[in-house]
Amino acid sequence: MITDRRKQGYVVVIAAVIAMVLSSCRSSPVSPSSGADMNFSYHILYRSHVTIKVDNSYGTTVLTLVDTIQDAGRYSVTWSTAAYPSGIYFYTFRAIRESGGAEMDLTKKFIVG
Per-residue pLDDT, 40: 84
Domain regions of the chain by residue span: 5-26+35-112
Per-residue pLDDT, 56: 93
| Contact assessment for residue 37 and residue 79, using Cβ atoms and an 8 Å cutoff | yes
In a 3-state reduction of DSSP, which class is residue 48? strand
Rounded CA-CA distance 110/108 in Å is 7
Per-residue pLDDT, 35: 59
Q: Tell if the pTM clears 0.75, that is, is over it.
A: no
Give the CATH fold of the 5-26+35-112 domain. Immunoglobulin-like (2.60.40)
| Contact assessment for residue 77 and residue 40, using Cβ atoms and an 8 Å cutoff | yes
Q: Which residues contact 16 (CB under 8 A, 6 or more apart)?
A: 45
Q: Which residues of the chain have pLDDT under 50?
A: 1-18, 22-33
| Contact assessment for residue 77 and residue 43, using Cβ atoms and an 8 Å cutoff | no
What Cα–Cα distance (Å) separates residue 109 from each residue in 16, 22, 40, 68? 24, 12, 13, 23
CB atoms within 10 A of CB 103: 15
Per-residue pLDDT, 110: 81
